[in-house]
Structure 1
């Protein structure tokens, strides 16, 4: 209900209106500004955060977390940079629906649905990388719509990507702190299933909202 009550811009993989105006007006290299915008996007990007939460939900060792987060970062960075630089855009409603699907996929994976239903376990590393590609396209599509100036484009995009990774580390740190406390409680395993079902429902809401926007728009 909270998601449905949010504004349309909140559901899209969007940059805030004030930031949108700034992106459209500036010309040349603005490294610090784009680092800030990238970090802000990631920290406030609930779809990214939900997916990251699903990815690390049952990961306890830091080296395992680092591998999965790195795969997601590689995928996200690659399509964001290439998508904007080569002007490759995808309908924002469809790409955001796929991002919602990534949340559903990971929640189902966490509750062991694929093993029970199909008797197979998908390659979780490959899935994290592939969905990282889609998350990157979600952002590149929005940046293309804002017609960022070509002068200083590559430097600004690289700075934006650095900001995204900084924001990802901040969001991940907060998630790990909360998860660390939760995992030490007796009720963690008892409530883990419910938490992932709630995550899956949030993903379905995102998919439904975006597909509705696609057909209505």
Structure 2
């Protein structure tokens, strides 16, 4: 029965492999930094969608000239534009909008750096595409924004999610599974923090390739799980997950590097992001568990062959990602 539900999810992952690369899931990022009393520099990063900038645009308050920026230029990962605006009134209390966001699935983070106030972070979603610029912001609002970002990042990151799904198939003991996921979170928190403060600096493409390779490894462990021998991945999965978590943390660091962190609240933002990732992983496992329980009420048991087939489905998707990422070096 467990194998049947796992097989279903493996098929869904296979179906979504191309979709995951066809539509951008990274957030947009808008930074507005005051450089003089009425002058602000603007940096606008749009996600890439199939080689084109996402159909969204940042609209600054009416008192600023210009309210829109120039056409963006690709940096191979996103579409970037920068410009200078003159704002002849205090922008605090004025509306700022992300036009077109309501038709997308992405979020946009906006960071404001006034000269005489603490920086502020705003999170725009398809449901909230217009907000009022605050005069000040608390650490709690930064915490809330980045925890939600971490939660959504894990649920929209197909490679990280497939890693957790492979663990669900491999590790049958619920407490061992939760422990493995928590060890994974602790490990990626370490490398994420080290990368954020500049101690680690690893190029993104090799990291993404090794992340895909880690999923291939778990798929192989699922296939070999029926041999009856001691396997560290099943008996002590937290050790394996801790090691792979160190690698996955570098992948999260790449995402945060693109988004940016509030310089005055880096510890809160990092903690919030990691807690959001952990909540997302546990929520995904809970959803799988509930679906498995529902399946047991209506379905007949399925044998070992279905589990092996599930492993091959996971391995096929991850090998596709591995080849794609290595070829893109």
TM category (shorter chain) comes to 0.7 to 0.9
Change (3 A) 1:161 1:5: closer
From 164, 171, 192, the equivalent of 2:284 is 171
Aligned residues: 209
Change (3 A) 1:137 1:163: same
> Where in structure 1 are there 5+ consecutive unaligned residues?
none
**What corresponds to 1:130 in structure 2?**
243
1:22 aligns with 2:109: yes
**What corresponds to 1:191 in structure 2?**
306
**What corresponds to 1:75 in structure 2?**
187
Change (3 A) 1:23 1:74: farther
**What corresponds to 1:94 in structure 2?**
206
> Where in structure 2 are there 5+ consecutive unaligned residues?
1-14, 30-105, 114-118, 121-138
Change (3 A) 1:122 1:9: farther
**What corresponds to 1:3 in structure 2?**
17
C-alpha separation in 2, matches of 1:5 and 1:139: 20
Q: Please identify which structure carries the higher strand content.
A: 2
C-alpha separation in 1, matches of 2:243 and 2:322: 18
* Preserved contact between residue 23 and residue 146 of structure 1 (Cα < 8 Å): no
**What corresponds to 1:32 in structure 2?**
144
The alignment partner of 1:22 has SS state of strand
Change (3 A) 1:16 1:122: same
Cα root mean square deviation, aligned: 2.9
* Preserved contact between residue 212 and residue 318 of structure 2 (Cα < 8 Å): yes
* Preserved contact between residue 84 and residue 141 of structure 1 (Cα < 8 Å): no
The alignment partner of 2:200 has SS state of coil
Larger radius of gyration: 2
Following superposition, the deviation at residue 202 of structure 1 comes to 0.7
TM-score of the aligned structures, taking structure 2 as reference length: 0.56
* Preserved contact between residue 20 and residue 146 of structure 1 (Cα < 8 Å): no
The alignment partner of 1:3 has SS state of helix
